[in-house]
Structure 1
């Protein structure tokens, strides 16, 4: 795209938008065979586009920790190579529905008081926290 510069002391010069650049975090345009950010006083339409890495979350599982069955009906069994400090369950509204201190490598969580649905379980083992999806039938 060619653009005529109308002010900024460079009237008559031509800018064009590059279609690719390796300038990370700094929009660039080519100006008379040089690279730089255009003078902010210059009129024109500038279009920059690019791609970003996919958004997501890192793996937040705890090594040596397991739980079963999933989906569960009445009881969810927990097992860890190290001491399970605490467990909390949250509904999908973010409300805490179960919170308990464990202090052992195995435990059973009573789910009988919960309605059927999806819950997020937050488990702390040796100061590290992992989150897991739990289904209650």
Structure 2
């Protein structure tokens, strides 16, 4: 099966770690390209290329302010990712609840062991 183009959808676009880093920075607010270059330690051409991909899927918007182009996050474009992950949230919550129950039971077992009824020590321990 052929792989979808990077700009086919937001899932493919954010699969690239550097683009996720850009989104993380833009989640804090609007930034010009130069800020992104400095913060990410990438070259300007690389940052611009990643921004172009993010713009094409709608995850990033740009506006001109004087001689600068300011980029900002468009959270609405990330909604398909949120909706997809949310489908698994109930499963995670159920698993965490099960884990909490196991940990709670382990904790109460440990408390019983520490109140003088520790079965881990053999009879030889009493003679010491």
Normalized against structure 1, the TM-score is what?
Answer: 0.19
| Structure with higher strand content | 1
Greater relative contact order: 1 or 2 (C-alpha under 8 angstroms, separation 6 or more)? Answer: 2
Normalized against structure 2, the TM-score is what?
Answer: 0.20
| Structure with higher helix content | 2
